[in-house]
Amino acid sequence: MKRKLRYTGGFILLSICLILFSLLGILCGSSTVSWQQLTDILLHRSTDESAAAILLQIRLPRVLAAILLGGALSVSGLLLQCFFNNPIAGPFVLGISSGAKLSVALVMVAALQQGFVLHSWAMIGASFLGSLLSMGWVLLLSGRVRSMSVLVVGGVMTGYICSAVTELIVAFADDANIVNLHNWSMGTFSGTDWADIRAMSAVLCAALVLSFSLSKPLGAYQLGESYAESVGVDLRKFRAAVILLSSILAAVVTAFAGPVSFVGVAVPHLMKQLFGTAKPIVMIPAVFLGGSVVCLVCDLIARTAFAPTELSISTVTAVFGAPIVIRMLLRRNAHGAAR
C-alpha cells in the first residue's frame, strides 16, 4: 500500500511539474507573453498576430518537442540500462547519439549540395541508420570487453570520433544553411515546426507503446539473462526488440534535436530514487515524464539564462547530468561492483 501511495505521489508530482514547466516554456522568452494573451490566442480571440505566431509556431512546437524528445531519450536510456544490466549505459554515453548525428549530418549535407532540404522522415531514417550502426559497434565492443567501464570509455571515444567527423563535414560544407546545421549538431530544440512534431510523435508513440509492452520481460531481465530465459523469455526476440526500440528512440531525438547529453543516464537514475523501484512497468512512464520535465527545464534555462544568446541544450544537460553520472560511477566503485 505504501508503495502504491509513493507511485501515485510520484506521478502526480511529475504531472504537476510537466504542466508548470510547459506553461513557463510557452510564456517565457525573448518576448514575454502574458497569461491573458495565452488564453486569448488559444481561444482564437487574439488580434495580436505576431504574438500568436510566436506562441503557436515557435514556442508551442518547441515545448512539445522538449516533452516528446526528452521523454523518448530517457526511455531509450532506461532500455539500454536494462539491456547492459548497468545503470551508466545511455544513448549518449555509448556513442549511439553521436553515430546518429554523423549519419544525419552526412545525409543533410549531401542533400543540401543537391539543392533540397530534407524532410522530417528522411532525417529520422538517416538518424536511425546511424544509431543502428553505432549500436552494432557497441555490441561488438561489449562482446569483447566484459567490464562496463571500458565499454563506456569505448562509447565515449566513439562519440568523440563521430563528433569530430561531423564537425569536419560541417566545416567543409558550403551552404547558408550550415549555420542551422551547426546549431543542430550542438543540440537544440529550436526550429521545430509542426511537421516535425507530427512525424516525431507518430514514431515515438509507436516506439513508446512497444517499449511499455516489453515491461514484463524487461522486469524478468533484471535478474540476469539466464533467469529470464528460465522463466520463458525468448532472449533472441527480446534482445532484438530492445536494441531496435532504444535505437529508434535515440535516433528520433538526434534527428530533431541533435545530441542531448546525459539525460538518458541521469533521468532513469533520478526516477528510480524518486519511486524507490526499478520495475519497468512503473519506470517506463515515470522516466518518460521525468525526461520531459528535465528537458523542459533545461531548455528553459538554455533559452533564458543568457538571453538573447541561446545555449545548446547539451551544455545545460551536461551541467546537471554529468555530476550525477560521476556520482553513480563513484558509488559503484565504492561497492566494488565492477560488473
Partner 1 sequence: MVLHAEHLTVGYGRTAVVEDMTLTIEKGEIVTLIGANGAGKSTILKTLAAQLAPLSGCVMLDGREKMPPEELAKYLSVMLTGHIHPELMTCYEVAASGRYPYTGRFGILSQHDKDVIAAKMALTAVTELKDTPFDKLSDGQKQRVMLARALCQEPDILIMDEPTSYLDIRHKVGLLTLVRQLVREGLSVVMSLHELELAERVADRIVCIREGHIDRIGTPEEIFSGNYIRELFAMDEGGYEALYGVPELPAVRGTPEVFVIGGGGTGVPVYRMLQRKGIPFAAGVLHENDLDYPAALALASVVIPEHAFQSIRPDTLQRAMDVMVTCREVICCCKKFGEMNARNEQLLMHAKEMHLLTEDSLILSG
Q: What is the DSSP string of 163-174?
A: HHHHHHHHHH--
Between residue 144 and residue 183, which ones bind partner 1 under the rule CB under 8 A?
none
Spatial CA neighbour of 157 closest among 182, 130, 134, 183? 134
233 is a site residue for partner 1 (CB under 8 A): yes
227 is a site residue for partner 1 (CB under 8 A): yes
Q: Do residues 322 and 262 touch, judged by C-beta distance below 8 A? A: yes
Q: Do residues 87 and 268 touch, judged by C-beta distance below 8 A? A: yes
Which contiguous run of DSSP H or E holds residue 118? none
Among the listed ranges 119-127, 193-201, 225-233, 315-323, the one in contact with partner 1 (CB under 8 A) is: 225-233
Residue from 53, 224, 240, 338 that binds partner 1 (CB under 8 A)?
224
CA distances from 288 to 10, 12, 15, 205, 313 (A): 13, 14, 11, 11, 18
339 is a site residue for partner 1 (CB under 8 A): yes
Q: Cα separation of 246 and 12, whole Å?
A: 26
Q: Which is nearer to partner 1, 34 or 213 (CB)?
A: 213
**Closest distance of CB 95 from partner 1, Å:** 24
Among the listed ranges 171-179, 278-286, 295-303, 310-318, the one in contact with partner 1 (CB under 8 A) is: 278-286
Residue from 234, 305, 326, 327 that binds partner 1 (CB under 8 A)?
234
CA angle 251–255–256, rounded 5-degree value: 125
Among the listed ranges 10-18, 138-146, 230-238, 249-257, the one in contact with partner 1 (CB under 8 A) is: 230-238
Site of interaction with partner 1 (CB under 8 A): 87, 213, 215-216, 219-220, 222-224, 226-227, 229-234, 272, 276-279, 281, 337, 339
